[in-house]
Amino acid sequence: MTILTKDALLEVRGLRVWFPVKTGVLQRTSHHVRAVDDVDLTLRPGETLALVGESGCGKSTVGRSILGLLEPSAGNIWFRGSNLTLMPGKERQRLRRHIQVVMQDPASALDPRMTVRDCIAEGLDSFQIGADAQERTERVADLMRQVNLDPESMWRYPHEFSGGQRQRVCIARALAVDPTLLICDEATSALDVSIQAQILNLLGDLQKARGLTYLFITHDLGLVRYFATRVAVMYLGRIVETGRTERIFADPRHPYTQALLASVPSLDPDRRSETKPLVMADIPSPAHPPTGCHYHPRCAVRLPHCDAQVPEAVPLADGICRCVRAGAP
């Protein structure tokens, strides 16, 4: 399936990342962990796509593949119409400047021995942006102002900053090379509630000012509803549903999406979640996923053949749903 969406910024088709599991003295590959299995994604310019799922579902692996930090086992990634997976290394490197990342833990993302100025200027140096060190320092100061940091503090070290300020440094560093696509991998999960709002507002402002496209990788559905234009829900390596944010929240079609939404804790004191404490099903391991539809052992509405067949992607008006019941009204 290689029908490309018109004017897509990023197009992921049939992405597969399988990690071999080697066993025994001969280290033979006994089986694979199918971290990502036939994933399709489309990002249009200026939109925010939230890639949602629980830990181990493969959402970060998708992000890492797009960033070129992982070699996919199969599949293609097109960026602005060029196939990144077929491109020679140098050219690919040049294009990947347009795809930057902000990760969860700003403490480990920054080199503790480098000043904040050098942390932010790293990308400028490697892509040779700016004529000399002086000009790069000026660019760093400008970037720091854009993320509401005091440029006076650029000669200090990361540990002298708070968690929220360090995340601002990471955002400034990502923006330094003027990217088009920003991948935010749980970028606000480690922050305090009051600081998370600051960073989300900053990301919103930067998106408007620079026309950025976001791939928001997160497990936090409250944040998704607030921030994303479209949502892709992942479960054990596969995308089970995609669609516009409003529709996903108002009318989730996949039983897993429904369960995920039902688990969002309410802040209304008259409404507690309705989870039954003793109904318990665990998330299976991606090394030994269930047969057929991966969700079938936990599914309350499964049909007899759900354990045998991988469900097709049923097209919806605004996305897809991989469930045999999706076609039915």
Partner 1 sequence: MTPASQPLLSVENLTVTFPGESGRVPVVDGVAFAIGRGETLALVGESGSGKSITALALMRLIPKPGRIEPGSRIRFAGRDVLEMDVPEIRAFRGADVAMIFQEPMTSLNPVVPVGAQVAEAVRLHEPVSMAAARARALETFALVGIPDPQQRLDAYPHQLSGGLKQRVMIAMALAMRPKLLVADEPTTALDATIRAQILAVIRDVARRTGTAVLIITHDFGVVNEVADRVAVMYAGQIVEEGTRHELLRAPRHPYTQGLLRSIPRPEARGGRLEEIKGIVPRPGHWPQGCRFHPRCPYVFARCREQWPVRRSVSATQGAWCHLLDEEAAP
Contact with partner 1 (CB under 8 A) among 226, 251, 287, 301:
226
From 88-96, 123-131, 279-287, 307-315, give the range in contact with partner 1 by CB under 8 A.
Answer: 279-287
- CA distance linking residue 123 with residue 182, whole number of Å: 14
Q: Is 32 one of the binding residues for partner 1 (CB under 8 A)? A: no
Q: Is 152 one of the binding residues for partner 1 (CB under 8 A)? A: no
From 13-21, 28-36, 71-79, 265-273, give the range in contact with partner 1 by CB under 8 A.
Answer: 265-273
Buried (b) or exposed (e) across 50-69, using 16+ Cβ within 10 A?
bbbbeebbbbbbbbbbbbbe
Max CA pair span of the chain? 68
Q: Is 218 one of the binding residues for partner 1 (CB under 8 A)? A: no
CB of 299 to partner 1, least distance (A): 12
Q: Is 197 one of the binding residues for partner 1 (CB under 8 A)? A: yes
Q: Is 222 one of the binding residues for partner 1 (CB under 8 A)? A: yes
Contact with partner 1 (CB under 8 A) among 67, 87, 195, 316:
195
Residues in region 54-73 near partner 1 by CB under 8 A: 54-55
- CA distance linking residue 75 with residue 100, whole number of Å: 21
Say if CB 297 and CB 281 are below 8 A apart: yes
Q: With respect to partner 1, which residue has the nearer C-beta, 51 or 176?
A: 51
Q: With respect to partner 1, which residue has the nearer C-beta, 67 or 190?
A: 190
Q: Mask: binding to partner 1, 234-253, rule CB under 8 A, as x and -? A: ---------------x----
CB of 192 to partner 1, least distance (A): 4
Q: With respect to partner 1, which residue has the nearer C-beta, 84 or 149?
A: 149
- CA-based angle 42:248:296, to the nearest 5? 90
Strand-pairing partners, residue 50, are: 216, 231
How far CA 142 is from CA of 109, 172, 177, 182, in Å, comes to: 21, 9, 13, 19
Q: With respect to partner 1, which residue has the nearer C-beta, 174 or 203?
A: 203
- CA distance linking residue 259 with residue 59, whole number of Å: 18
DSSP-derived secondary structure for 166-204: HHHHHHHHHHTT--SEEEEESTTTTS-HHHHHHHHHHHH
Identify the DSSP state of 18.
E
Q: Is 266 one of the binding residues for partner 1 (CB under 8 A)? A: yes
